[in-house]
A and B are shown apart, each in its own frame.
Chain A
Amino acid sequence: MPTSSLVPGAIVDGFRVGTMLHAGGMANLWEVEREDIKTPLLMKVPIQDSSDPLTIVGFEMEQMILPLLQGNHVPKVFAMGEFAAQPYIVMERITGGSLLPKLDETPLPVEEIVAIGIKLAEALDDIHRQHVIHFDIKPSNVMLREDGEVVLIDFGLARHDKLPDLLAEEFRVPIGTAPYISPEQIKRRRNDPRSDLFALGVLLYYLLTGHRPFGYPRSDGALRRRLWRDPVPPRALNPTCPAFLQEIILRCLETDPEARHPTTAQLAFDLKHPEKVRLTTRAERQHRDPWFKALERWYKMRFAASPEAKTITQRLSQAPIVMVAVDVTEGTEKFADAQRNAVERVLATASTRQSGATSNMRLACVNVLKTNRIAPYDPLDDEGHNIHVLRLVALKEWARPLPLGTAELTIHVLESPDPAAALVDFATVNQVDQIIIGAGRDSVGGPYLGPVAARVAAEAPCTVTLVKARGTH
Chain B
Amino acid sequence: MSDLMLGNQAVARGLYEAGVGVVSSYPGTPSTEITEFASKYDPSELYCEWAPNEKVACEVAVGASISGARSFCAMKHVGLNVAADPLFTASYTGVNGGMVIAVADDPGMHSSQNEQDSRHYAIGAKVPMLEPSDSQECKDYTKLAYELSEKYDTPVILRLTTRVSHSQSFVTTEERQNVAVKDYTKDISKYVMTPANAIKKHIVVEDRTQRLTEYADNSGINTVEYNDTKIGVITSGICYQYSKEALGDKASYLKLGMVNPLPVQLIKDFAGKVDTLYVIEELDDVIETHCRKLGIKVIGKEAFTLQGEYFQSKIKQVILGEKDEWQTVDAEIPVRPPVLCAGCPHRGVFYILKKLGVMVSGDIGCYTLGSAAPLSAIDTTVCMGASVSGLHGFNKGRKGEYEGKSVAVIGDSTFIHSGVTGLINIAYNRSNSTVIILDNSITGMTGHQNNPANGLNIYGDPAAAVDLEALAHAVGINSVRVVDPNNLEETEKAIREELAKAEPSVIIARRPCALLKTVKHKPAFKIDPDKCKNCKSCMRIGCPALCLTEKCVTIDATLCVGCGLCSQMCKFDAIKE
Is B a genuine binding partner of A? no
**B interface residue numbers (CB < 8 A to A):** none
**A interface residue numbers (CB < 8 A to B):** none
